[in-house]
Amino acid sequence: MRLVALSRLVRLSLARERRGAFFSIFGVAMGVGALVFFLGLGLGVGRVIRERIFPTDAKLVDVVPPSVSLGSFLGGGKLDAVMVERLGALPDVEKVYRKMSVRAPAASRYDGDFFGRRLRMGVDVLAVGVEPGLVEGDVEPGSFVDPAPGEPIPGIVSTRLLEIYNSTFAPARKLPRLGPGMIVGFTFPVDFNRSYVAAPVAGPVIQSHVQVVGASERGLLAGVTIPLETAIRLNRELGQDTETYSGVTLVATSPAAVPALVAAVKDMGLEIDDQERRLAENVGAAVALTTSALALLSILICVLAAVNIAHALSASVRARAREIGVMQAVGASRADVRNIVLAEAAVVGVLGGLAGTVAALLLALAVDRLATGYLPQFPFKPESFFSFPWAVVVGGVALGLLAALAGAWFPSHRAAATDPARTLAG
Amino acid sequence: MIRARELVKQYRDGDGTEVRVLDGLSLDVEDGEFVAVVGPSGSGKSTLLHVLGGLDVHYQGEVEVAGVKLSGLKDKALARFRNQHVGFVFQSFHLIPNLSAVENVLMPSHFGPLTADVRKRAEALLDRVGLLSKKDRTPVRLSGGERQRVAIARALFTGPRVLLCDEPTGNLDAATGAGVISLFQELHREGLTLLAVTHEERMSAVAKRVLRLKEGRLVEESRPALAGGVS
Ligand SMILES: Nc1ncnc2c1ncn2[C@@H]1O[C@H](COP(=O)(O)OP(=O)(O)O)[C@@H](O)[C@H]1O
Ligand SMILES: [Mg+2]
């Protein structure tokens, strides 16, 4: 049978069974729509977690000294220059970046103009020194180095800290929101070895200023990131340890090399700071699990839609037995009859799949609009909670088609088995 | 044109006993003949027609129609045979209710080889049966006689050499039936082979040869009624 003829006959019977066809299409659309919507939501939220809340770089490995030092037994565990050399010599290590925290509390007392508002407050801050190479993509070249005496210390703030400030702190205190570019140049006083909450170490109080030179994902979340040389110098002035590092960031040659690298680092008696990665994985897994459950539910709706189509088509085939007999009498083969019924279902499935997918996309758009307009600002609030890769959109329509064809399987075979001699008699 | 040998067809009736509806039936119809098969209701007339037209494959014996041997044909080939070589006319017309007259007539085109001007051909056939002006009407808006004319036009659509008619006037009143019968006579004069089964006198009266289906076989009917001669 030719396609033109097939499409004519399909249109004919769908036009007659308009009501039934509508409900069949609606059923498929419900299932497919729910599936596309939930998958899009799961993927979108997953993306927000991956890219904004825990933007872990898959090539980075954060090495820290073991919490309980067994260094003397294992011949390792102390992150000194020798150990850093050994880490750098591991296979698949592309770069090594040392970090050293300032080993004394620090406090900032601010009293003055803050982007057009008056701000008066005092807070404890943590300061960690990193090698400039780690953050070179986020600052002006040459701006992140140990300053000459009397010059302010260049500091980098975490982009995530900025996000939290912008979405909660700033609105609550009626302070202006700050973009990463706006804060460059902002200077605030920091007194090392002074604290509102912790006991100072034995040593002098060092008064200084920190000037923001950029914002970075690699910046310390709850503090300020300064050049490594500055941190070493401060520790020396404070009479603290300047030989061991508080952490080392390794850049692997590729994400695939990371597991072996992690194992090698652990063999050296060191630990990996993968808190964030694990948290990201846990949250990601929770989202994936929820998404899977909802997707399963949606597939169940699709199965119900298929059952509904099976019912509707069975009834329609029974009602059309005589008509099918007529078609057989004028030249329809059994395969023709079966194909007509399957094609009907295919049209229902594709229409339902399209309708459901479009409805899901529109609903997602509406949800995003409402979220932008009516939800209060919160940290990491994304522009869109959804992500619809092509595979999901095409898969939605394909699933509709599949569900409809599955539902049509038995009715189509029953129709093909129609005995014209019986239906045409009388 | 039609050749059947030793046809046997049996049904199992309600209490499980086998009923031989066709019991060694043989039949020969020449090209261009107009043959009527008569017999009371339930004698197996429709069954015979379905076997000859390739609608029924559960039988024993040999059938050849329009040069096609039906016994053992695959479903697809049998469907092509029905599409190309025979036309069916039924007692209750069997038009598709939500299709217009012209669309009913061109129904066979959906299952046959691609041909140009399908609609034009359907309209020409409707003109032939005197219904061109009603080509866009659905069956409910046609009288019984008109419906049967549409059905005849449909049976003629692919240009078959043989028309198989199952009580074609059974649902029509005398006057309308007469109109349909005279249409059959015209088709016969144009060279079509007609096999009509009927239990009605007025149909068999115009056939050139009348066969009676009796105990599963066909016997030649003597034709005293034909003495006057219609042709
Ligand atoms: N599908 C069937 N199952 C069982 N018996 C049938 C079936 N079709 C026809 N018959 C029987 O076969 C006999 C012949 O039927 P049919 O060919 O329709 O007769 P006619 O057309 O002469 O009235 C009848 O007795 C009928 O009951
Ligand atoms: Mg009958």
pLDDT in tens, B168-223: 998 999 899 999 999 999 999 999 999 999 877 887 888 889 999 999 999 988 66
Strands B193-198 and B162-166: parallel
* Last residue in a domain, options A237, A252, A267: A252
Question: Do residues A17 and A316 touch, judged by C-beta distance below 8 A?
Answer: yes
Do A33 and A111 share a domain, yes or no?
Answer: no
- Cβ partners under 8 Å of residue A153, min gap 6: A147, A190, A208, A209, A210, A211, A226, A227, A230
Give the residue, by CA position, lying nearest to ligand 1 atom 20. Answer: B42
Question: Smallest Cα–Cα separation from A276: which of A92, A64, A40?
Answer: A64
* Atom number in ligand 1 closest to CA B213: 22
Residue A229 lies in a domain: yes
Cβ within 8 Å of residue A233, ≥6 positions away: A146
Planar angle of CA B209, B21, B39, nearest 5 degrees: 35
Q: Are residues A99 and A187 in the same domain?
A: yes
Q: Count CB neighbours of B90 within 10 A.
A: 25
B104 touches chain A (CB under 8 A): no
Cross-chain Cβ contact A331/B94 below 8 Å:
no
Question: Do the chains contact at A9 and B110, CB–CB below 8 Å?
Answer: yes
pTM of the model: 0.77
Domain assignment present for residue A268? The answer is no
Q: How far is the CA of A350 from the centre of ligand 1 (A)?
A: 43
User: How many CB atoms lie under 10 A from the CB of residue A350?
Assistant: 17
Residue A68 confidence (pLDDT): 58
Q: How far is the CA of A377 from the centre of ligand 1 (A)?
A: 80
A333 touches chain B (CB under 8 A): yes
For the beta sheet containing B162-166, the strands, ordered from the edge strand earlier in sequence to the opposite edge, are B86-89, B162-166, B193-198, B34-38, B209-214, B217-220
Cα–Cα distance measured from residue A138 to residue A214, given in angstroms and rounded to the nearest whole number: 6
Q: How many CB atoms lie within 10 A of CB B13?
A: 9
| B44 pocket-lining for ligand 1 (C-beta < 6 Å) | yes
pLDDT band at A378 (very low <50, low <70, confident <90, very high): confident
**Measured CA distances, A238 to A60, A113, A381, B49 (Å):** 31, 31, 41, 113
End residue of a domain, out of A252, A267, A299: A252
Secondary structure letter of residue A147 according to DSSP: P
Rounded distance between C-alpha atoms, residue B231 and residue B228, angstroms: 9
CA distance B200 to B167: 8
Cα separation, A188 vs A258, whole angstroms = 39
Q: Is the pLDDT of residue A403 over 70?
A: yes
Identity (one letter) of the amino acid at B179? Answer: G
Q: pLDDT tens across A308-341, in order? A: 999 999 999 999 999 999 999 999 999 999 999 9
**Ligand 1 and B83: CB distance under 6 A:** no
Name the more confident of A8 and B88.
B88
In this structure, are A101 and A246 located in the same domain? yes
Mean pLDDT over the full length of chain B: 91
pLDDT per position as a tens digit, A128-161: 999 999 998 888 888 899 999 889 999 999 988 8
- Integer Cα distance of A36 and A396 in angstroms: 6
Q: Write down the pLDDT at residue B68.
A: 95
Are both A340 and A381 inside the same structural domain? Answer: yes
Inspect the interface and report whether the beta carbons of B50 and A331 lie closer than 8 Å.
Answer: no
**Cα(first)–Cα(last) distance of chain A, in Å?**
29
What torsion do the CA atoms of A291, A297, A301, A307 make, to the nearest 10 degrees? 130
- Residues A247 and A290 occupy one common structural domain: no
Residues A374 and A302 reside in one and the same domain: yes
Q: Rounded to the nearest whole angstrom, what is the distance from the C-alpha of residue B5 to the centroid of ligand 2? A: 21
In this complex, how many residue pairs, one in chain A and one in chain B, have their CB atoms less than 8 Å apart?
82
Same domain flag for A341 and A217: no
Residues B20-30 have a mean pLDDT of 94
What's the sign of the alpha-carbon dihedral A142, A144, A146, A147? positive
With an 8 Å Cβ cutoff, is B71 touching chain A? Answer: no
User: Looking at A234, A252, A270, which one is the last position of a domain?
Assistant: A252
Judgement on whether residues A358 and A414 belong to the same structural domain of the protein: yes
pLDDT tens-digit readout, A47-75: 888 777 777 777 888 898 887 555 445 55
Residue type, A119: L
Q: What is the pLDDT of residue B15?
A: 85
| Residues A333, B75: C-beta atoms closer than 8 Å | yes
pLDDT of residue B231: 42
- Beta carbon of A425 within 6 Å of any ligand 1 atom: yes
Question: Is there a contact between B82 and A329 if contact means CB atoms under 8 Å apart?
Answer: yes
User: Does residue A373 share a domain with residue A226?
Assistant: no
Work out the angle at residue A344's Cα, subtended by the Cα atoms of residues A339 and A349, and round it to the nearest 5 degrees. Answer: 120
Residue A270 lies in a domain: no
**Confidence bin at A77 (pLDDT 50/70/90):** low
Q: Does the beta carbon of B98 lie under 8 angstroms from any beta carbon of chain A?
A: yes
CA distance B111 to chain A (A): 5
% pLDDT > 70, chain A: 97
Q: What are the tens digits of pLDDT across the range A220-272?
A: 888 899 999 999 999 999 999 999 999 999 999 988 888 889 899 888 888 88
A332 interfacial to chain B (CB closer than 8 Å): yes
Pair A12, A114 in one domain: no
Residue of chain A whose Cα is closest to the Cα of B159: A330
In a domain, A78, yes or no: no
Contact A9 B98 (CB under 8 A): no
Sign of CA pseudo-dihedral B190, B142, B118, A7? negative
Q: How far is CA A338 from CA A299, A408, B53, in A?
A: 26, 9, 21
Q: Give residues whose Cβ lies within 5 Å of ion ligand 2.
A: B 46
Pairing of β B68-69 and β A153-158: unpaired
Does the beta carbon of B92 lie under 8 angstroms from any beta carbon of chain A?
Answer: yes
Contact A193, A205 (CB under 8 A): yes
DSSP per-residue codes, B159-191: --SEEEEESTTTTS-HHHHHHHHHHHHHHHHTT
Q: Does A214 map to a domain?
A: yes
Q: Which amino acid is at A132?
A: P
- Is A177 an interface residue toward B (CB < 8 Å)? no
- Contact list, B98 vs chain A (CB under 8 Å): 12, 15-16
DSSP secondary-structure letter at B225?
G
CA of A422 to the centre of ligand 2 (A): 11
Cα distance from B138 to chain A (closest Cα, Å)? 14
Ligand nearest to the CA of B44: 1
Taking the C-alpha atoms of residue A86 and residue A93, their distance in angstroms, rounded to an integer, is 11
Classify residue A68: in a domain, yes or no.
no
Q: What is the mean pLDDT of residues B35-56?
A: 93
Does residue A288 form part of some domain? yes
Query: Strands B60-65 and B2-12, how do they pair?
Result: antiparallel
Best of B10, B106, B110, B171 to mutate (most A CBs within 10 Å, chain A): B110
Q: Residue A113: which domain range?
A: 93-252
What proportion of chain B, given as a percentage, has pLDDT over 70?
96
Gap between the Cα atoms of A100 and B95, Å rounded: 91
Interface of B with A in 117-156 (CB under 8 A): 154
B3 in helix, strand or coil?
A: strand
Nearest residue to B194 via CA among B58, B7, B29? B29
Find the residue in A nearest to B170 (Cα): A426
Helix (H, G, I), strand (E, B) or coil at A224: strand
Q: A321 in contact with B at a CB cutoff of 8 Å? A: no
Spatial neighbors of A379 by CB under 8 A, at least 6 apart, are A160, A163, A164, A167, A168
Q: Which two tokens stand for residue A73?
A: 């037994």
CA of B46 to the centre of ligand 1 (A): 7
What is the domain count for chain A? 2
Whether the predicted pLDDT of B64 surpasses 70: yes
Distance B42 CA to ligand 1 centre (A): 6
Q: Which atom of ligand 1 is the closest one to the Cα of B49?
A: 17
Max Cα separation, chain B? 53
A124, A105 Cβ separation under 8 angstroms = yes
Q: Are residues A202 and A341 in the same domain?
A: no
Question: Over the stretch B133-180, which tens digit does the pLDDT of each residue have?
Answer: 999 999 999 999 999 999 999 999 999 999 999 999 989 998 999 999
- Do residue A39 and residue A106 come from a single domain? no
Q: What is the structure's pLDDT at A69?
A: 53
Question: B120: helix, coil or strand?
Answer: helix
Give chain A positions within 8 Å (CB) of B90: 424
Phi then psi for residue A240, to 5 deg, are -105, 170
Q: What is the pLDDT of residue A426?
A: 61
The answer to whether A3 faces chain B, any CB pair under 8 Å, is no
Supply the pLDDT for residue B66: 94
Structure tokens, A28 = 């498929």
Name the helix (H) or strand (E) containing A313. helix A275-319
Whether A337 maps to a domain, the answer reads yes
Relative orientation angle of helices A390-416 and A275-319, to the nearest 10 degrees: 30
